[in-house]
């Protein structure tokens, strides 16, 4: 995935997170952490060249596992992001 595709995916995920409702405290905390990470990644000029913190990857995996039953659309986008970062060697 090129920089524009990754940036678009990050923006889509950020929008989905901002509009997610009916999440318990743990889910909200996970989403807030990921949202902050996404804002940081979007602020960078070259997403793929800057190292992604391992904690982001861990939070993505944890969020997918935690939210997959209650928020399937959101977890689908989280999975796409995790896959894109993995394919990019990040």
Query: Rounded to the nearest 5°, which phi and psi values hold at 68?
Result: -60, -30
* Cα–Cα distance measured from residue 78 to residue 63, given in angstroms and rounded to the nearest whole number: 8
Could you report the per-residue pLDDT of 46-90, keeping only the tens digit for each?
A: 555 555 667 788 888 999 999 999 999 889 989 988 888 777 766
**pTM of the entire structure?**
0.74
Is there a contact between 28 and 82 (Cβ–Cβ < 8 Å)? no
Residues 80, 87, 30, 44, CA torsion sign: negative
SS3 assignment, position 53 = coil
Instruction: Report yes or no: 46 and 57 within 8 Å, Cβ to Cβ.
Output: no
Domain regions of the chain by residue span: 3-87
């Amino acid at each position: 995935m090129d920089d524009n595709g990754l940036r678009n995916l990050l923006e889509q995920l950020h929008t989905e997170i901002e509009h997610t409702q009916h999440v318990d405290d743990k889910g909200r905390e996970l989403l807030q952490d990921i949202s902050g990470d996404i804002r940081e990644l979007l602020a960078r000029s070259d997403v793929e060249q800057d190292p992604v913190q391992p904690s982001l990857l861990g939070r993505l995996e944890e969020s997918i596992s935690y939210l997959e039953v209650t928020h399937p659309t959101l977890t689908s986008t989280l999975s796409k992001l995790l896959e894109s970062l993995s394919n990019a060697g990040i």
